[in-house]
Amino acid sequence: MTENEKQPRGVAELISIVEALIFVADEPVSAKTLADVLEEDRETVEAAIEGLVKEYETREGGLQLRSLAGGWQISTRTEFHEEIRAFLKTRPSAKLSLAALETLAVIAYKQPATVPEILEIRGVQSASAIKTLLDKRLIVSKGRKETVGRPMQYGTSKDFLIQFGLKDLSELPSIEDFEDLAQ
């Protein structure tokens, strides 16, 4: 089929194609990327995604379609994790240490955050925690801060959003919300 004789796709067809593409994508795929590949309007693709979301909701199958890290991803529903683990013969992977999680929290909320800023809040040197987070690609360096000592700045990565199931950073509860919780 050449460019010229391209038939406009029907809504149902587009929904199916969108589903197929989201399925094969390694990472959450954005509506924009899908629109570019399919040479469709972004609105049309977004409408198709919305249709697909509804299908998934109505069907209540083993899979879910969710918005993650600025894109869309097909994954299993949480309810079936035990059966899936039994089948895959896997165990939950090693969790982050308390130190690493705290450091990650500081970086997530204060980004771009420098080592001295993290030290100030945590009251402890966090070099090895930062290294762990960098190794796990949860944080990325964001250049140096133009201040005394030009410390390296860190921010969270796309992998952070994916691994913590976040649409974007705004989905994190506000840090002030933890004030009441802590009391």
State the residues that interact with other proteins by CB under 8 A. 23-24, 26, 64, 73-78, 81, 84, 88, 92-102, 104-106, 108-109, 121-129, 132, 163-166, 173, 175-176, 178-179, 181-182
Question: Minimal distance in Å, beta carbon 4 to other proteins?
Answer: 31
Question: Minimal distance in Å, beta carbon 10 to other proteins?
Answer: 26
In 3D, which of 72, 27, 33 has the Cα closest to residue 51? 72
Question: Minimal distance in Å, beta carbon 3 to other proteins?
Answer: 27
Nearer to other proteins (CB atom), residue 31 or residue 129: 129
**Alpha helices (runs of H) in 69-150, residue ranges in sequence order:** 81-88, 98-110, 115-122, 127-135
Nearer to other proteins (CB atom), residue 47 or residue 84: 84
DSSP 8-state symbol, 107:
H
DSSP 8-state symbol, 96:
P
Nearer to other proteins (CB atom), residue 40 or residue 106: 106
Token pair for residue 105?
A: 């929290």
Nearer to other proteins (CB atom), residue 32 or residue 85: 85
Question: Minimal distance in Å, beta carbon 131 to other proteins?
Answer: 8
Specify whether the CB–CB gap between 166 and 69 falls below 8 A.
Answer: yes
Question: Minimal distance in Å, beta carbon 41 to other proteins?
Answer: 28
Would the CA dihedral through 147, 150, 151, 154 be positive or negative?
positive
Nearer to other proteins (CB atom), residue 36 or residue 83: 83
**CA-based max dimension of the chain:** 67
In 3D, which of 126, 177, 130 has the Cα closest to residue 155? 130
